[in-house]
Structure 1
Amino acid sequence: MAILFVLLALAVLAVVVTANWYVWRRLFRDTTRAPGWGRRGGAALIAGGWAMAVGALVAERTGAPFPLQQALAWPGFLWLALSVYLLLGVLAGEAVRPLLRRHLERRDRTSERTAAAATPAVVTAPALAPPEDPVPPAPPASPEPPAPSRRLFVSRVVGGAAAAAAVGTVGYGTYGVLRGPRVKRVTVPLAKLPRAAHGYRIAVVSDIHLGPVLGRDFARKVVDTINGAQPDLIAVVGDLVDGSVKDLGPAAAPLAGLKARHGSFFVTGNHEYFSGAEQWVEEVRRLGLLPLENARTELPWFDLAGVNDVAGESEGHGPDFGKALGDRDTARACVLLAHQPVQIHDAVEHGVDLQLSGHTHGGQLWPGSIIAAAANPTVAGLERYGDTQLYVSRGAGAWGPPTRVGAPSDITLLQLASPDA
């Protein structure tokens, strides 16, 4: 097993190194005439960016001093996003490159034919005697730098366009995250929901990811957005934080301002188990949220249950569906909070009517949605599995790069619908 892991790690490293060499070649080597500061500077930029990115990941996972995490996180994580789109940009440029070369060749041939047609015939004049005092010839003009070759010109145009597109994409995607999530409204019919609960509103928020990048101001935006939707109940379905209570307690403090008629509830996500889950469960309880640790509460019109994330199994605190759902009245509708969509299969077996999840971020950075779809039954939105419906939120924040492309952040206001209404 260890040998397989080493071989896999070496394969991944080889892919990353090759991809970065390719980006350096297209953006720096192919756009310069000869070795010099441009090529060396490009190599330093790429190597330095990856050094910051690896440092940011290691600092977060090892619990390095929080100021150091913050110093590394912004440049390191943004470089991760930028490197993805630089690679995609230069790959897309391969399709443009031959088209642009052919266009330039046709243009040059047309120009040559036009110039030849416009050149007048040369008439030989009789030789004249030289003047007695000939004018001395003018000194030769200083040579102009040679025009770039067609290949070099094409490389500069394509490379510049790829870099501009990558920077613009990451910039806009980062702005979208820092601006704060928007409210997404979804209606979900529940067959067992009584008429009196028709229109009941649940605010679903997941994957806030408070950490060295997204802090107290971001938490306040999330709280204000949720409260502005005026929900009846708030469900925080995991991955609230990336760090310890000591470092991020002040950032999470605005959560104490959450307001809903039937309260706010919380279940753990996998990142809580990287950040001290037991301490965070107590902290959210102190802030006024009710943790559902493999537990259930009976609301007036339906049951609300929650299970721990599967990452808790390594600490002996994994999901226990039997404990949360085993003895309930199955005639009542049941809404389950479970961080990962893969838990839907257990929910179906236990007769859950609606599972609320997050975890996927909707892919966060396109084409990450393709990878997310391979690992999760549902990446985002509402789908049905037998008699159980699964709703997956794209999440409010972002992990790693504070950037989203093709998967905008959201807080979902679910409105439950009764068939008797």
Structure 2
Amino acid sequence: MVIILVLLLGLGGVGLAQWYLWRRLVRDVSAPGGWYRRIGTVLAVLLPLLSLGALVGGRLLPLAVERWFAWPGYLWLALMLDLVLALVVGEALRPLLLRLPGRRAPLPERPVGVGQQPVGVEQEPVGVEHEAQEPATAGGPPAGGPADPARRLLVARTVALAAGGAAAAVVGTGMYGVLRGPAVKQVTVPLAKLPRRAHGYRIAVVSDIHLGPILGRSHTRRIVDTINRTQPDLIAVVGDLVDGSVPELGRAAEPLADLRARDGAFFVTGNHEYFSGAAPWVEFVRELGVHPLENARTELPWFDLAGVNDIQGTAEGQGPDYEKALGDRDRTRTAVLLAHQPVTIHQTVRHGVDLQLSGHTHGGQLWPGNYLAELANPTVAGLERYGDTQLYVTRGAGAWGPPVRVGAPSDITVVTLASLQT
């Protein structure tokens, strides 16, 4: 019942946004019956349907068909958000633009009749007192009066053009950032129990690659090449690798076989793996040479590396099992845990883990989405401390839905471990 209510509220919000965009970008700037009005109205109906097809297509359609909905549908979602934000700003500017001075219209000539003074000759009637009159602005509306239709049309078109240009620039820049590939971010994490000989150990953390109808093999290749250039000691892939099945996206993931690190590459599931079948993907990445940590732990010479399944797997009996992964370990050793969602940090603290590496949030992906992400996650991006445990959340290397990021650029993070022992 709650899911249905949320869905109805979401559809209602999108419908209201579409009506607002049609009104400001189509109706207010065009004449009834014109070609622009007709095309704009058709797009106002068609684009939301494409967005709906993109959102549900992953569950219902083959990947080859889903791509036809994904590109226009997802891009429209991002553009719709920025158009609404830009037009809301325009609402505040609209009254000011309506009152800007313009050219004064010339006064009409009036014929001089019998008993009238010629124009330009001042005559003041006797015994009549003048009332103060409020001057009209030059070329603008009289104070307190409505603007003329031509001025309103000009302002409507100006605001619409500015909003459209701003939204297109923001979405275009955000899309370029995703398709170009993630940048490398450097973070140093001091750990009290880390042996001195492990000081400077480097872990390349990558999450939320999201291979699917838009991001494919070339995206994986860029990520692999970027990681290998950092020459890490260990690679951690912390979930949400794919949005689809192994038969559909296996080839797109194949470049992961080229990941190179002294102590290997490790993988834990994210929530999106369970939407298309996590077990086949676990076996597939194993075949590529990436080691899955399914509620498991491996003892490296300098610290314990553990991983837990994502919370989404709970419905299938494959959820996170901290006891299995950490219950019998030596707590005098440093422990690093891979867990897709940062919300698990409180269980991590109870098990005495020194560092948790997570993703999932995308840093909000599309501003102001970061404020919504803060409501559901203890940390949206970056390094924070919870008791004796530190949590680092990467913004991820890809994008879900729109291949666009605004205010949350994608990253691959090289976490350098620093020993506090002398």
TM-score by length of 2: 0.89
**Which digits, 9 at most, give the CA deviation of each residue in 1:139-172, with x for residues without a partner?**
xxxxxxxx96111100000011001111111111
Q: Using the alignment, how far apart are the partners of 1:258 and 1:46 within structure 2?
A: 45
Letter in 2 for 1:32: S
Deviations 1:291-340 (A, max 9, x none): 00000000011000000000000111000001000000000000000000
Question: Structure 2 vs 1, CA of residues 378 and 115 (structure 1 numbering), >3 Å: closer, same or farther?
Answer: farther
Rounded to whole Å, the distance in 2 between the matches of 1:174 and 1:58 is: 22
Gaps of 5+ in 2: 110-117, 122-147
List per-residue Cα deviations over 1:356-411 (Å, max 9, x = no partner). 00000000000000100000000000000000000000000000111100000000
CA–CA separation in structure 2 for the residues paired with 1:59 and 1:402 = 16
Matched residue SS, 1:406: coil
Deviates more, 1:47-56 or 1:32-41: 32-41
Letter in 1 for 2:78: A
Give the AA of the match of 2:249: L
Offset at residue 198 of structure 1 (A)? 0.4
3-state DSSP of counterpart to 1:186: strand
1:91 corresponds to? 88
Partner of 1:54: 52
Deviations 1:115-151 (Å, cap 9, x if unpaired)? 99xxxx9799xxxxxxxxxxxxxxxxxxxxxx96111
Q: Which residue does the alignment assign to 1:70? A: 67
Return the alpha-carbon distance in structure 2 between the equivalents of residues 269 and 14 of structure 1: 30
- Give me the whole-angstrom Cα distance separating, in 2, the residues matched to 1:114 and 1:407: 57
In structure 2, what residue type is equivalent to 1:358?
G
SS at structure 1 position matched to 2:318: coil
- In structure 2, what is the equivalent of residue 334 of structure 1? 335
Q: How does 1:151-300 map to 2 (within 5 A)?
A: 151-300=152-301
Matched residue SS, 2:272: helix
Q: CA deviation at 1:48?
A: 1.1
Amino acid of the residue matched to residue 405 of structure 1? V
String of CA shifts for 1:80-138, please: whole Å, max 9, x gaps: 111111111111111111121122xx344xx469999xxxx9799xxxxxxxxxxxxxx
Partner of 1:389: 390
Counterpart secondary structure, 2:48: helix
How far apart, CA to CA, are the structure 2 residues paired with 1:282 and 1:160?
51
Of all paired residues, the percent bearing the same amino acid is: 65
CA displacement 1:178-229 (0-9 Å, x = unmatched): 0000100000000110100000000000000011100000000000000000
Give how far 1:35 is off: 3.9
Going from structure 1 to structure 2, the CA distance change for 1:360 and 1:7 (only over 3 Å counts) comes to closer
Partners of 1:23 and 1:53 in 2: how far apart?
15
| Alpha carbons of structure 1 residues 115 and 95: separation in structure 2 relative to 1, 3 Å | farther
**Structure 1, gaps ≥5 residues long:** 125-146
How many corresponding residue pairs? Answer: 388
Does structure 1 conserve the Cα–Cα contact (< 8 Å) formed by 2:206 and 2:412? yes
Specify the SS of the correspondent of 1:304: strand
Deviation of residue 56 (structure 1)? 1.5
Aligned-partner SS, 1:417: strand
Q: How far 1:71 sits from its partner (Å)?
A: 1.8
Q: Deviations over 1:20-79 (max 9, x none)?
A: 1011101111111334332221121122111111112222122x2221012221111111
The corresponding residue for 1:39 is 37
**SS of the residue 1:296 aligns to:** strand
Q: Secondary structure at the match of 1:202?
A: strand
Residues 241, 7 of structure 1: CA spacing in aligned structure 2 closer, same or farther, 3 A cutoff?
A: closer
Distance in 2 separating the partners of 1:406 and 1:186: 19
2:320 is matched with: 319
Q: 1:8 to 1:281 in 2, by over 3 A?
A: closer
Q: Is the CA contact (8 Å cut-off) linking 2:31 and 2:37 kept in structure 1?
A: no
Q: In structure 2, what residue type is equivalent to 1:253?
A: E
Amino acid at match of 1:55: G
